[in-house]
A and B are shown apart, each in its own frame.
Chain A
Amino acid sequence: MIFIISGSRKGIGRELVEHYLSSGHTVIGCSRGLTELAHPNYTHFELDVSDEPAVASMVKKTARAHGRIDVLINNAGIATMNPVALTPLTTAKSIFNTNFHGTFLLSREVAKVMLKQERGRIINLSTVAHPLKLEGEALYAASKAAVESFTQVQARELGPTGITVNAIGPTPVLTDLVKGVPKEKMDSLLQRQAIVRFGSIEDITNVIDFFIRPTSDFITGQVLYLGGIS
């Protein structure tokens, strides 16, 4: 299958790329920086997911080169730990640009390709920060709440077309994204889960593999949280 995975330079995105490459798929990734990953079935685009012409061009080049796009994983995301009172507007805008506008642009462009195939899978990355209403993460949680709502509405718009749109909300996974969160805060966050431990890449690929398999064609507009959060 042909995958597009955003935010693929490091963290969860990089691991997702390696997972799907090792299962024999072709992956097209993108992030603002260059990747060190070199693999015959991997192509990297250096772009910001909120750059409309760059995203449109990547999607068109991918469709032309491979003839189809089977799976889109909207993984690129950024976070800040900051109380609302101390959050600059520039930070708020950049969080929404990457997390929400990036997801919107990629989903819009890839859906046009998937419509022609009359099948496709779109998976968006959310977070438990939204259902847990995490203090200090208002902008991050709000941007992901927007992603969840977008997931559910786009799922309905694409309902009759063979394209499903779902989201996964991981619990904390040890990547650069959560590096700045103080230990006590992280511990108390984990304690709110039904199953108290960090999430792993396998927890995430398990859910994505479920969303993308052919028999999941009746599952759309869902947000699946890990660790027993609801």
Chain B
Amino acid sequence: MIPSIIIKSIEGLNSSWGLEYFQELNADTRLFHPDSPMTSMQLVQLVARLEEVVEEETGQVITLADEHAMSQKRSPFLTIGSLSEYITSLLTP
């Protein structure tokens, strides 16, 4: 469920970002990564959108803030896959 929430959220936001890079989305798509055109402000917009949708879908309030956000090795925001794992780890089953 989480990967599809992320994909839908990016698709929604990309209608105003207009980035060709995000036309095809899968678990390996790079998000806040040196090879991706996503800016830090776009990442913040995605985080805000995801917190909202996750709450709508699961009823759980989560905060996506991580001390490694800007790290190229350990950031959960590097790819759709890593972000999905991170969100899943914050949700209580």
Contact = CB atoms under 8 A, between A and B. Distances in A.
Q: Is the interface of B mostly helix, strand, loop or mixed?
A: helix
A115 B49 CA distance: 10
Interface in B21-66: 41, 44-45, 47-49, 51-52, 55, 61, 63, 65
A115 B61 contact: no
A112 interface: yes
B52 A160 contact: no
Tier of interface size on chain A: 10 to 19
Contacts of A115: 41, 44-45, 48
Q: Is the interface of A mostly helix, strand, loop or mixed?
A: helix
Interface of A: 52-53, 56-57, 60, 108, 111-113, 115-116, 160-161
B48 A56 contact: no
Interface residues of B, number: 12
Contacts of A53: 61, 63
Given A56-B61, A56-B63, A60-B61, A112 B41 contact: no
Contacts of A113: 48
Interface string B60-86: 010101000000000000000000000
